[in-house]
């Protein structure tokens, strides 16, 4: 099995090394990751300038650092590998739960794999002011890969690990609105700057990714690329049929 590993924290993140070490027990690993942190860059791709990449030494792994986004790295890695069997993105330093999935570069790496007809698995762990010790989490990474690496018809999966997991739960994405306030601060020269902040406005719903993490469980969420709101589509189609009965039925 050819496993391509990407992330959005940058190629020198301890999370990507821990993931590569565990994944190498399951197949041939190649690391292709951004040369600097690209967290919260979402699913951006670089199309108005060329990309470049360089081979780099990461603890004995075949690794390349790219001056691009996580999604760029999947494209570059797929061309180096002539398509990977699976793309693992992470392990991110920080959860990617609920609303974070819309901003996450980690998840974008996995999504890019799914868009290119491969499979993508995003993996995230808590962030901390000191580097997270991944050693105790490695057996949990291994068990999760054992579950998800075989092709069981899941093109895109988002996994979040609490610090000390006591089990796993299949979950759905939580939808929690946040205030998105832009908070003014002053720099040391007295100039005005602004921070984008995320303060949740609602409680956590049962059965969601965040609900699992709050209970010390590994959250595994199967995702799809189709964002269509199925019930809304049906409702609006019905409304149109009622208003204009002569419109051809779809
Ligand atoms: Mn990140």
Tokens of 22: 């565990």
**The predicted structure's pLDDT at residue 29:** 97
For 171-222, how does the pLDDT look when each residue is reduced to its tens digit (9 = 90+)? 999 998 999 999 999 999 999 999 999 898 888 999 999 999 999 999 999 9
Q: How far is the CA of 10 from the centre of ligand 1 (A)?
A: 8
In angstroms, what is the span from residue 48 Cα to ligand 1's centroid?
24
Phi, psi of 129 (to 5 degrees): -70, -25
User: Could you list the mean pLDDT of each consecutive 10-residue stretch along the chain, which spans 250 residues?
Assistant: 97 96 98 97 96 94 97 96 93 96 97 97 89 92 98 96 96 92 96 93 93 97 97 96 79
Q: How far apart are CA 210 and CA 217, in angstroms?
A: 10
Looking at residue 249, its pLDDT comes to: 63
Residue 233: what are its φ and ψ, rounded to 5°? -60, -45
CA of 96 to the centre of ligand 1 (A): 9
Q: How far is the CA of 19 from the centre of ligand 1 (A)?
A: 14
| Residues less than 5 Å from ion ligand 1, measured at CB | 8-9, 39, 92
- Say what the pTM is: 0.94
If you measure from the C-alpha of residue 220 to the centroid of ligand 1, how many angstroms do you get, rounded to a whole number? 18
179 Cα to the center of ligand 1, angstroms: 21
Check residue 210 and give its pLDDT.
Answer: 96
The percentage of the chain sitting over the pLDDT mark of 70, rounded to a whole number, equals 98
Cα 237 to averaged position of ligand 1 atoms, centre (Å) = 40
């Amino acid at each position: 099995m050819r496993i391509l590993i990407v992330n959005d924290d940058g190629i020198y993140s301890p999370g990507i090394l821990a993931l590569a070490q565990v994944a190498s027990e399951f197949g041939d690993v190649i690391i292709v990751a951004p040369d600097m942190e690209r967290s919260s860059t979402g699913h951006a791709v670089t199309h108005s300038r060329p990309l470049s990449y360089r081979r780099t030494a990461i603890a004995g792994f075949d690794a390349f650092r790219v001056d691009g986004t996580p999604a760029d790295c999947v494209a570059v890695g797929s061309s180096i590998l002539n398509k990977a069997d699976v793309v693992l993105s992470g392990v991110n330093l920080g959860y990617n739960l609920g609303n974070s999935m819309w901003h996450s570069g980690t998840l974008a790496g996995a999504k890019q794999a799914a868009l290119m007809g491969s499979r993508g698995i995003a993996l995230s762990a808590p962030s901390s002011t000191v580097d997270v010790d991944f050693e105790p989490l490695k057996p949990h990474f291994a068990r999760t890969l054992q579950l998800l690496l075989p092709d069981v018809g899941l093109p895109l999966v988002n996994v979040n690990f609490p610090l000390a997991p006591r089990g796993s739960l299949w979950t759905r994405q939580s939808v929690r609105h946040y205030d998105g306030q832009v908070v003014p601060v002053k720099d040391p020269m007295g100039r005005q700057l602004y921070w984008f902040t995320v303060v949740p406005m609602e409680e956590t719903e049962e059965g969601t990714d965040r609900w699992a993490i709050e209970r010390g469980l590994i959250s595994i969420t199967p995702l799809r690329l189709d964002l269509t709101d199925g019930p809304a589509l049906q409702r609006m189609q019905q409304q149109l049929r009622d208003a204009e009965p002569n419109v051809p039925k779809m």
